[in-house]
Chains A and B, each alone.
Chain A
Amino acid sequence: MSAAAGSITQEERPFRAFAREYMRNPGAVLALIVLVGIIAVAAAAPLISPQNPYDLTQVDLLDNLQPPGSKSFSGTTFLLGTDGQGRDILSAIFYGLRTSLIVGVASGLLALIVGVLFGLTAAYYGGYVDTLIMRVVDLQLSVPPILVALILLVLLGGGADKIVIALVVVQWAFFARTIRGVALVENARDYMDAARCLKLGPLTILLGHLLPNCLPTLIVVATVQVASAISLEATLSFLGLGLPPTQPSLGLLIANGFRFMMSGNYWVSLFPGIALLITVMSINIVGDRLRDVLNPRLAR
């Protein structure tokens, strides 16, 4: 009984310490709150949106390009105005956040898992395994991401799932290469020799020792990649590939809205742009703070 209680406190303690450490930076706390808020908004989009922007019977072309605060024929107010099709921008942002977050996080995470697996394997085993994996990485990195995405989207067809696949294919090699670089350095350190002397299995060493020590770098790269996944999705939309236009992500909203930028209808592109910025910035700030807290050498 007492033994069980002891183990719980022992597991709890590092997390508390970690949380306390995180809280010491007010900016990071704010970013975390904002991020949680954004995720909540994205999750609750169908409940809190004034309009379902994906339901074409609710969108009316005759309401298009209304400035923020104006009223529709049916009397609802467009807080942030409407876009070229008459979509309520606020609702479109809520729904778009959802799409963008899902696409960004899903592709970032999948790419991370794939990339880390290959990167660590390459660094740990070295030799032919390393050579083979790194040549594949070279291969992957040697074609411009936009082109890989283009070809993939042609082969697969459009849609959110296809975009995620394309983004993973584009991004995994980046993780793999970065992780391998860090892991090679870590591999040469004393604790790795110690681990090997203890005759721990390769999986234990890889996941139990090498990975945690690569974590700070991983977090930096992962936050960057989630951000750039969202950004890349926007760019693909700009080039005319990607999500269906009737179900726009933030990136697509920005891309479509830019046509109206110069004619003074700034809100179509500006508000989704700000939403994207806030989202990605809060992800990055949280990631930064996590890294500072997690880095064992900084904590020392």
Chain B
Amino acid sequence: MRALFGLGLAVMLAVAPPVAAQTQNTLTLGVRSETSSIDPHWTQFPQDKQVEDHIFDRLVALDHNSRPVPALATSWRPVNDNTWEFQLRRDVKWHDGKPFTADDVVFTFNRLRAGIPGAPASPGFVLANGNKRIEKVDDHTILIRTDGPFPIMPEEMAFFSIVAQHRAADAQPSVDFNNGRAAIGTGPYRFVEFRPGERVVVERNPDYWGAKPEWDRVVFRPITQDASRLAALMNGDVDIIDYPPTPDLPRLRQQGSRFAVSEIASDRVIYMQLSFRDVEPFVRNADGSPATNNPLRDVRVRQAMSLAINREAIRDRIMGGSALPTANIVPPGFFGHSEALRPDPFDAERARQLLQQAGYGQGFRITVHGPNNRYINDQAILEAIAQMWTRIGIQTEVVTMPRNIFFTDVIRGDPMSLPGFDVGKFSVWLSGWGTATGEATYTVRGLLESFNPEAGSGNANWGRYTNARVDSLSRRARITIDSAQRLPLLVQATEIGLRDYALIPIHFQVNNWAHKATLQHKPRVNERTYAWDITRR
């Protein structure tokens, strides 16, 4: 025993010295979610994409406000109604020194088109939209043809990264990227190490075509617990964290000497969605007996519910001041945002009157559902809304559950699901939508258009709201190449849908990062954390 201990001690002394050889020029990020793969075509999880974007470039990148900007493509234009042309950047080298050409882009398209075996959420579906076909014109020009006009081509080209043909061609998906063999990109950082659950390490690419990266090394450390992540920042284990707990925001902001907070209104709208069936399982009369009709189908009731929500109180009391109350579904500055839609002012008196007019003066009872680990403070928001609705006579109960259970139950009347899950379960629930493309086409189609599996529309319209005018406007917008004509179509569709309270928007999440006061961070509307947004003060 003693001998064993002696041996242990000897080993300890022999290997102890290099206590995490951290150089001055290392940036350590504490992130909420674990990276699952380095293969950029494996998932569309933001926690994966933000790491992959350090290593791989896309044809089109998004700026801080999610507007498309040149990356591996230097320019693009529609050649005719069904064809887009992309000019590729010259003199770009892969991390292993080989030149980047149009062949790599064609290869990437083909890889995605063929489907990545085993990939849980490959962005390949983007290529299926409009049946995109790629043609190489020369080494630095490509054409993309579609069935019918396809206005949001540049935005969609920001969905996926370009991989190296000479590396990825015979690589095992995900696996060979995670071990580094195929993790060769053109991005500002090179792959060093991926230890699942522990860290991802990348280092500066000295030959990067763009601005010179600030950090020699960047380390991503997943820390899922909010409190632990904050503790790690305060303890000096990490330099910056995403999603700091909102109750701590005021203190972090004021403690200017050691820490600072960077924030930006995100593209994610949080809303209450309502179900429009004839009879709802979670709506009852005021005395508790089952309701024989659905009060939620009366627009006055929906308006009353919106008026009863004190959005400012939710922002100040629950979100730590970090939320942007709204009546829109895409944030200000995005293509398709309506200036005419203003958030309903809190007015309980008018809400009660509207209920009275609708014939529900005595109120009714509902149970609202929601996730408790998906959106920032989702459960607390629901509890607060329950208070507010109860005050105007809609007695509200709250049931929350982890998102893995919630997002199946709320789901969409999927006829392929298990018995009991093939119709939507809930009557009123909280959900959220992020406009990843920076413009409203997907958002309007997904949230406001009628549910229609063949057309692929209304895929998040789980309440089955239907409005023929919204449908026709949105459908026209989808095939209008000219932005000047497309914008009013989208705005109009949004305004019609939301004035009819197809859903009740609460706010846009404001995303926060907390970091050492010696750093500066320019945040992004799309929730991703990039090392090049972080500089020394």
Contacts and interface: CB of A to CB of B under 8 A. Distances in A.
Interface of A: 56-57, 59-62, 64-65, 84-86, 154, 158, 239-241, 244-246, 258-265
Contact of A260 (B247, B382, B383, B397): B247
B341 interface: no
Contacts of A241: 401-402
B398 A246 contact: yes
Contacts of B396: 56
Nearest to B393: A57
Nearest to B249: A263
A119 B317 CA distance: 52
Contact of A259 (B245, B386, B387): B245
> Size class of B's contact patch?
35 or more
Given A57-B391, A244-B397, 17 more contacts: A59-B387, A61-B310, A61-B388, A64-B317, A65-B247, A85-B380, A154-B405, A241-B401, A245-B379, A245-B400, A246-B386, A258-B227, A261-B227, A262-B227, A262-B230, A262-B245, A262-B247
Nearest to A265: B247
Contacts of B251: 263-264
B372 A259 contact: no
Contacts of A244: 397-400
The A contact surface, by secondary structure, is: loop
Interface string B214-255: 000000000000110011000000000000010110110000
Interface in B401-446: 401-402, 405
B227 A61 contact: no
25 contacts: A56-B386, A56-B387, A56-B390, A56-B395, A56-B396, A57-B390, A57-B391, A61-B313, A61-B314, A61-B387, A84-B317, A84-B380, A86-B317, A86-B387, A154-B405, A239-B402, A245-B383, A246-B383, A246-B398, A258-B227, A259-B226, A262-B227, A263-B245, A263-B247, A263-B248
A291 B387 CA distance: 47
A240 B380 CA distance: 13
The 9 closest A-B pairs by CB, nearest first: A56-B390, A263-B248, A263-B247, A240-B402, A240-B372, A56-B387, A260-B247, A246-B398, A61-B384
Contacts of B129: none
B318 interface: yes
B350 to A, nearest CB: 19
Given A154-B405, A262-B231, A240 B387 contact: no
A61 B245 contact: no
A239 B402 CA distance: 8
A218 B397 CA distance: 40
B373 interface: yes
Contacts of A259: 226-227, 245, 247
A265 B382 CA distance: 21
Nearest to B387: A56
Interface in B115-156: none
